[in-house]
Structure 1
Amino acid sequence: MSRFKILVFLLAVGIAGSVLAAAYWYYTRVLGHETVVQGQIKKMQGKHTSLPDPGVRRFDEAMEFINASNYAEGRKALYRLLDSFPETSAGPEARRIIGELNMDMLFSQEANPQRKDYIVQPGDSMGLIARKNQTSVECIMRANGMLSTNLQPGDHLFVFPLDFEIVVDISSKTVQLWRGTREKGYFFKEYQALEVRLPPGMKAPAETVIQAKSAWHNGKAVTSENPLFISADKWLVGHKTGFNLRGLPKAKPLVDKTTTPSQPAAATKGKSKGGSKAANKVVDDDDDDGLAGIPETGVFLAREDIEELFTIVRTQTKLFVAR
């Protein structure tokens, strides 16, 4: 009996020893290895080392085409770069260069396949021609180097359609133009917003359209025929109240509650009993305090960016707001 007990005891000790040996092997070979690897990773992170960005090499290859004046191939290479490596550090610069190339092609007589010659007919006006050709008055004037909207029957004008969609990304504060649609078109150009502020009740994602285009000088609306139009504050007015694309103005107009949301009136420096008289007053141009005195909501852009958008965006253009 005692021998049997001794045998059982020795068997139990053997099993326990085997378990401990297996546990030791697992710890040293598996857990220990993972600990070493994690330590090496932390050490590498401490030295700010990172894997090479393959997009940078693709970007350099695209720039070789552009520097050799092969803009078409360079543009294609940049598009391939963004498609293959959307998170590359070269992405912002690639989008900027694509945008500049696309704008040059849009107004080029040779590179724009949609460009056509339009002969002015009796009774034509710039607005009528723009509507018939799905373009804008400002685009026609820029494409033809015009300083006036005066026309004569028989005049030749270069025209081309403007078929864009706008995407405002709140998180990155960017405004993207897409040619055609986002689903079936292609990225055209990106602008960096100075500020994006949604009006009350508007939440992203949202969809709206450009309801109107307006230009304001010292609180008064001006048309493209007016010499003051060049220096006027441009607005792309969204269908949703308070959601406009615009620049930081010299004179800071406010939305006059007695007018429609698409017609901003001038700001005043004090209270006035006469609403219409107050609307004719303006803030001094040198009284510049950033975003103060202008609508609290909307998408605020650099003046040169809103000028460009104002030229190539038509009313009823779709606008999407993304988170």
Structure 2
Amino acid sequence: MSRFKIVIFLMAVGIAGSIIATAYWYYTRVLGHDTKLQGEIKQLQAQKTTLPDPGVKRFDKAVELLNENNFGEARVALVEMLKTFPDSSRAGEARRIIGEMNMDMLFSKEDNTARRDYIVQPGQGLQAIATKNQTTIECLLRANGLQSHMLQPGDKISVFPLDFEILIDASDKTLQLKLKGLPFKMYNAIDIKVPPGMKIPQNELKIASKSAIYNGKQVNALSPDFMEADKWLTATRGNNNFMIRSMPRAKAMQPAAAPVPAPAVPEAHAGKDKGGKGKQQQQSGKKGAQPTAEEATVPEPAPTGIFLPREDIEELYTIIRQQTPVVIIR
């Protein structure tokens, strides 16, 4: 009987050992392998692998064409590069170059096919000519090298329409100029501050006014102060107003006015006028009293809109006319 118990015990030990060995093998070969594999995957994910950027080669080829003064083929190469590789690391620089080339072509006598001659009619000024030909006074001055608003009947000037659209992306802080639905030039904003209460997107805004202000006065394109003037374009729809502008110029801090000292009271009258102190207090509260250093002025509300570098605003002010459509997205 004791031998039988020993055999049973040995069999139980063997079975238990087999189970333990099987569990150990499963853990080390299956579960342990999966855990190791997951760790290797995490390590690979943590590594910043740089994928090949085929757009770089296309971009470099276009730059070579530019250096060879082959501007037409270079522009085509850059456009094709953006169509094929829009996420390339060179996409931003390609858009910038295309925008500069497009702007040069707009004012070129050879490359702008929409450019035509116009004969000035009796009684016409620059504003009437600009309105009739869907352009701006600033564009007429630049395109024709004019130094004066004075035109004579029979004068021949060059005109071309400015049929632009403006697309503002509040998330990317960009302003894209489109011409007849096609990308023309991209501008990077310094900042965008959406006016309180304005909902984005806005699809039907239009440029309602253009302002060039110097020392609080409106100036025109021939004024010597025009280049230094603060300029902005205001897009409007209903009660919504959105400004395209440069950053406001910093204003010099004005020192606070020092309090005016009260006149000295002669000793002879000090005892006679016991209410002198009350009178001085009343005088300090009279209308027209000088403000003290402790009296703070109410700050102006922060301006809103899209803020661009001044050179970009100068450019847009020249080529954007009233009623230009503006779309704002987020």
Common fold by TM > 0.5: yes
From 172, 192, 196, the counterpart of 2:192: 196
Q: Secondary structure at the match of 1:190?
A: strand
* Contact 2:193 2:306 (8 Å CA) reproduced: yes
- In structure 2, the gaps of 5 or more residues are 1-17, 257-298
Count residues in correspondence.
278
- CA offsets per residue over residues 84-112 of structure 1, 9 Å max, x none? 22222111111111111011000000011
Query: Within 1, Cα distance between the matches of 2:154 and 2:305?
Result: 42
Partner of 1:235: 232
Partner of 2:221: 224
Query: Within 1, Cα distance between the matches of 2:200 and 2:119?
Result: 44
| Identity, % of aligned positions | 48
Larger radius of gyration: 2
Q: Secondary structure at the match of 2:145?
A: coil
Against the structure 1 CA distance between its residues 315 and 251, is the aligned structure 2 distance closer, same or farther, given a 3 Å change threshold?
Answer: farther
Query: Within 1, Cα distance between the matches of 2:301 and 2:319?
Result: 25
Give the TM-score, by structure 1 length. Answer: 0.74
Q: Secondary structure at the match of 1:175?
A: strand
Query: Within 2, Cα distance between the matches of 1:137 and 1:72?
Result: 29
- In structure 1, the gaps of 5 or more residues are 1-13, 253-267, 271-291
Q: Secondary structure at the match of 1:229?
A: coil
The alpha carbon displacement at 1:147 in A equals 1.7
- CA offsets per residue over residues 37-67 of structure 1, 9 Å max, x none? 433343x33xxx3112222112111111111
- In the alignment, structure 1 residue 39 sits paired with structure 2 residue 35: no
Instruction: For 2:95, give the aligned amino acid.
Output: R
Partner of 1:298: 305
* Contact 2:198 2:240 (8 Å CA) reproduced: no
Query: Within 1, Cα distance between the matches of 2:172 and 2:165?
Result: 18
Q: Please show how residues 81-96 of structure 1 align to structure 2 within 5 Å.
A: 81-96=81-96
Instruction: For 2:76, give the aligned amino acid.
Output: K
Query: Within 1, Cα distance between the matches of 2:231 and 2:303?
Result: 17
User: How much is the aligned-residue C-alpha RMSD, in angstroms?
Assistant: 3.3
Q: Which has the higher contact order (CA 8 A, sep 6+)?
A: 2
**Larger deviation, residues 75-84 vs 92-101:** 75-84
Instruction: For 2:218, give the aligned amino acid.
Output: A
- CA offsets per residue over residues 216-268 of structure 1, 9 Å max, x none? 1110112234343333221111215552111235486xxxxxxxxxxxxxxx9
Query: Within 2, Cα distance between the matches of 1:168 and 1:15?
Result: 69
Instruction: For 1:236, give the aligned amino acid.
Output: L
Query: Within 2, Cα distance between the matches of 1:105 and 1:72?
Result: 10
Partner of 2:147: 147
The alpha carbon displacement at 1:303 in A equals 1.2
Partner of 1:308: 315
Partner of 2:99: 99
Query: Within 2, Cα distance between the matches of 1:178 and 1:23?
Result: 63
Q: Please show how residues 172-211 of structure 1 align to structure 2 within 5 Å.
A: 172-180=172-180, 185-207=181-203, 208-211=205-208
Q: Please show how residues 135-174 of structure 1 align to structure 2 within 5 Å.
A: 135-174=135-174
